[in-house]
Amino acid sequence: MSQLAAEPGWQQAARGAMVAWSHIIGVDIAMVEGGPAQIVMQFGPCPDGCVAYASFPSGGSPGQSITIDRAYDSQSDAMKQAFVTHELGHTLGLRHTDLVPNNESTSGAFRVGYTPDYDPASIMNHAVGAGNSILSPRDSTAARRLYPVTLQNVQVTGYPTALAWDPVPGVVRYDIYYRYFEYTYDQDGTPSTQENILSVGSTTGTTFYHGESYTGNASCDTEYYVIGVFPDGPVTIKGWSGPVAVCP
């Protein structure tokens, strides 16, 4: 971001935009200054009279660059931050919210779950202005769906099984699933394995008790999975608990 030092207004705008994406509740996004940089912000000409443009993610990494046209140095500080926030959204993989009514190509695009087809308040609309200069609630929803936090300190003990984990800010309910493997053998003794994933309940707290029983030749190795439900919809909180022996 040192390349923006020639115009401190853009540099401060970039810092504010990084905070905006990093401080969404329930997302695993952390944007900080430093090097080596994954996203380089720089000045340069913008084609077709645009204010700025950005590259999209590739190979599991965010878009590598944001280019800002200094012809727009006279923009207010608030609008500069809005433009950089918009471009950072592109580096995270977000397309224009209004790409369909704006007649843009939909190739490779998909609507993120629990977001509307069109959101006039979205900062990811193709035109950023006074009515959409900050992240909208549905922009935050999209970020949560694409970059969910990781459940921390999952502990599974005993029988009946007791689960516990660290709370996730903003979650109003946790839905619990578990996976187990059942082994069977055909008449000539050839083994086969069937994977089962079952819903076992919900809780508003950070502990859950699950007493299960097995029939046949079931494995004692079970993994639990948690779905965090935010007010705007469920988000898969990443990570199984890991194999644990839960047979009595």
Angle at Cα 61 formed by Cα 60 and Cα 66, nearest 5°? 145
- Pair 178, 239 in one domain: yes
Among 114, 146, 178, identify where a domain stops. 146
Q: Output the domain CATH number for residue 220.
A: 2.60.40
Query: pLDDT digit of tens for each residue in the chain (248 aa)?
Result: 778 888 999 999 999 999 999 999 889 999 999 888 999 999 999 988 899 999 999 999 999 999 999 999 999 999 999 999 999 999 999 999 999 999 999 999 999 988 988 899 999 999 998 888 999 999 999 999 999 888 888 777 766 678 888 888 889 999 888 777 777 777 777 777 777 888 889 999 998 887 754 444 444 556 777 888 888 888 877 555 554 444 43
Is the domain of 190 the same as that of 236? yes
C-alpha 43/C-alpha 211 separation (Å) is 60
SS3 of residue 147 by DSSP: coil
Work out how many domains the chain is built from and give that number. 2
Q: Same structural domain for residues 197 and 76?
A: no
Same domain membership, residue 160 and residue 141: no
Q: Do residues 136 and 160 share a domain?
A: no
**Residue range of the domain that includes 219:** 155-245
The Cα 183–Cα 21 span in angstroms is 46
**Dihedral sign, CA of 102, 103, 106, 107?**
negative
> At CA 215, angle to CA 212 and CA 221, rounded to 5?
60
What is the pTM assigned to this prediction?
Answer: 0.81
At 236, list the tokens. 């898969």
Cα 149 → chain centroid: 7
Cα–Cα distance measured from residue 6 to residue 196, given in angstroms and rounded to the nearest whole number: 58
Judge if 35 and 137 occupy the same domain.
yes
Residues 139/89, Cβ–Cβ less than 8 Å? yes
User: How many angstroms separate the CA atoms of 94 and 90, rounded?
Assistant: 5
Please identify, among 97, 122, 146, the residue that sits at the C-terminal boundary of a domain: 146
28 and 51 housed in the same domain: yes
